[in-house]
Amino acid sequence: MYETAYARPRTLEEAVELLQSDEDAKCLAGGMTYVPTLKQRLAMPSLLVDLSRLLSRDIAVADGFLTIGAGARHVDVQRSQIVRETLPALAELAGLIGDPMVRNRGTIGGSLSNNDPAADYPSAALALDAQITTTKQQYAAADFLSGMFETLLDDDEIVTHVRFKIPVCAAYSKFASKASGYAVAGAFVARFDDDVRVAITGAGPCVFRADQLEEALKGDFNVWALKGKTIEPEGLLSDMHADAEYRAALAVEMTKRAVHQITGA
Amino acid sequence: MNKISLTVNGNKVEASVETRVLLSQLLREELGLTGTHVGCDTSQCGACTVHLDGEAVKSCSVLAAACDGAKVETIESLSDHPLQEAMVRHQGLQCGFCTPGVVMSGLDMIRRHGSSLTRERIAEELEGNICRCTGYRGMVDAIYEVSQDV
Ligand SMILES: Cc1cc2nc3c(=O)[nH]c(=O)nc-3n(C[C@H](O)[C@H](O)[C@H](O)COP(=O)(O)OP(=O)(O)OC[C@H]3O[C@@H](n4cnc5c(N)ncnc54)[C@H](O)[C@@H]3O)c2cc1C
Ligand code: FES
Ligand code: FES
């Protein structure tokens, strides 16, 4: 790891100032992605702005929305009574991330800011039409999660909160890589009064919605409605773990499993 | 250089560290606490697990500079703990390289779940501790046994 400066600001204003003071400054939250990145010398920031004790870890429900502070660790979401009652699928998703030590440090804000194509939270954010609040503005998850390891964040912008729309019911199903634990394909299915949203992670360069599957489920929210429905493999990822065709098939299968978890049939 | 002061196994420690010094390096190289092992140094194996403010973390993935004001507990904080004794009795270790991490993870599980811990849950939560020798059976039994006594 290259040597770099380190600061632990006490307020968000101070953190933003630090990020603005130095164009190669980077923020650090749980460090579960960024510390390994630094150790591999894949990044060379001049200053690390440590947000880990600054960002809110609060979790609250109001008016049909669940709001989570960007500093909430995966374990906070996994164990939160509020999340378990209002959006159990999200608590389950958090419990599937990495392992207990990773969940003790990693944050929801860090996961969304990193937008790893195989990460779990982006699928929930997209399926639950999340609003992502930063020190500058609010974004719809669909815009914010803009590409492979890419978001709309500026260098001096910090995610502070994530607000999920609470569905009637939802489920997440993940086919995890045996080696890394990350999703080879994962599907987050959310059913609202007047809508069904299916977000697929792991399969493509960035989380995406499966239109054909959503349409079928809007007609009839049942596993059988997905019979013969597919996801187009073109543009999906191919690597030594799985090729695009297999990932496309797996994503449909994960969607079926998620629907099955909800309907129980 | 970052000036930090923290508590390690109950002792006050003052140190001056470069930002790139990891908690695992501070413990092993500065403080001589080599019970914390570094198996992979890539956040995968869990041999370096310690408790940071009461929670299990991979010390190879935490900057020492970020531990200013924190309380750290390593395997050296234990002596003749029932879990260590149970690990021996159930043959939860062979070469012993992963063992400090497994014990610190096991204690974290016991603290969180107490006697509601099940063998399935232990196996699931050992996800972050890789053992190349034992096949995990003995360590699951050891953690389970101790959890039932709390
Ligand atoms: C062994 C292991 C297994 C894992 N398995 C999984 C898995 O199965 N599924 C999964 O989804 N993830 C997995 N992860 C990744 C983990 O979830 C990370 O916690 C997460 O990707 C990043 O969160 P963090 O808080 O650690 O962020 P950091 O590593 O601190 O930061 C990541 C990036 O986001 C930026 N950033 C962080 N917080 C903010 C913020 N509030 N505003 C703006 N930018 C910010 C940082 O500058 C950095 O670029 C795993 C990690 C490890 C080490
Ligand atoms: S040495 Fe830290 S996880 Fe392997
Ligand atoms: S006892 Fe040898 S690695 Fe676990």
Confirm if B144 and B109 have CB atoms less than 8 A apart: no
A162-183 pLDDT, tens digit each: 999 999 999 999 999 988 899 9
Same domain? For B14 and B52 the reply is yes
Domain end point (choices B77, B107, B135): B77
The total of structural domains in chain B comes to 2
Same domain? For B12 and B73 the reply is yes
Q: b/e for A76-91, b at 16 or more Cβ within 10 A?
A: bbbebebbeebbebbb
DSSP helix/strand/coil, A79? helix
Q: What percent of chain A has pLDDT over 70?
A: 100
Across the interface, do B19 and A39 touch by the CB < 8 Å criterion? Answer: no
Across the interface, do B63 and A104 touch by the CB < 8 Å criterion? Answer: no
CB-CB: which of A32, A50, A101 is closest to B66?
A50
A107-154 pLDDT, tens digit each: 999 999 999 999 999 999 999 999 999 999 999 999 999 999 999 999
Q: Is any Cβ of chain A less than 8 angstroms from the Cβ of B131?
A: no
Across the interface, do B20 and A2 touch by the CB < 8 Å criterion? Answer: yes
Same domain? For B73 and B84 the reply is no
φ, ψ of residue B135 in degrees (nearest 5): 80, 10
Helix, strand, coil share of chain A (percent; to 5)? 35, 25, 40
Give me the CATH number covering residue B20: 3.10.20.30
A55-93 pLDDT, tens digit each: 999 999 999 999 999 999 999 999 999 999 999 999 999
Distance B11 CA to ligand 2 centre (A): 24
Is the ipTM of this structure higher than 0.85?
Answer: yes
Same domain? For B105 and B137 the reply is yes
- What pLDDT score does B150 carry? 74
State the pairing for strand pair A65-69/A159-165: antiparallel
Across the interface, do A39 and B41 touch by the CB < 8 Å criterion? Answer: yes
Same domain? For B72 and B84 the reply is no
Same domain? For B38 and B86 the reply is no
Same domain? For B87 and B114 the reply is yes
Same domain? For B73 and B11 the reply is yes
Give me the CATH number covering residue B138: 1.10.150.120
A181-215 pLDDT, tens digit each: 999 999 999 999 999 999 999 999 999 999 999 99
Domain end point (choices B49, B77, B105): B77
Q: Which residues of A are less than 8 Å from B113 in CB distance?
A: none
Q: How far is CA B13 from CA A8, A67, B18, B40, B69, in A?
A: 19, 38, 16, 26, 10
The pick from B37, B95, B137 for probing ligand 3's pocket by mutation, whose C-beta has the most ligand atoms within 8 angstroms, reads B95
CA distance B126 to B121: 9
- What pLDDT score does B80 carry? 87
CA proximity to B97, closest of B46, B28, B62, B24: B46
Confirm if A141 and A60 have CB atoms less than 8 A apart: no
User: Counting atoms of ligand 1 from 1, which one is nearest the CA of B61?
Assistant: 53
Token pair for A218: 């809007």
Same domain? For B69 and B16 the reply is yes
Q: Ligand 3 within 6 A of B93 CB?
A: yes
- Scanning A43-72 for CB atoms below 8 A from B yields 48, 50, 52
- What pLDDT score does B8 carry? 98
Q: Ligand 1 within 6 A of A32 CB?
A: yes
Q: Hunting for tokens 């086919």 — which residue is that?
A: A175
The pick from B49, B84, B134 for probing ligand 3's pocket by mutation, whose C-beta has the most ligand atoms within 8 angstroms, reads B134
Q: Ligand 1 within 6 A of A111 CB?
A: yes
pTM given for the model: 0.96
Q: Ligand 3 within 6 A of B131 CB?
A: yes
Same domain? For B58 and B100 the reply is no
- What pLDDT score does B62 carry? 98
Across the interface, do A101 and B58 touch by the CB < 8 Å criterion? Answer: yes
Segments of chain B with pLDDT less than 50:
none
Q: Is any Cβ of chain A less than 8 angstroms from the Cβ of B127?
A: yes
Same domain? For B69 and B92 the reply is no
Same domain? For B50 and B73 the reply is yes
Token pair for A247: 């990932």
Domain ranges, residue B114:
80-147
pLDDT band at A265 (very low <50, low <70, confident <90, very high): low
Helix ranges (DSSP H) in A72-149: 74-79, 81-86, 88-95, 100-105, 108-114, 121-127, 141-144
Domain end point (choices B37, B56, B77): B77
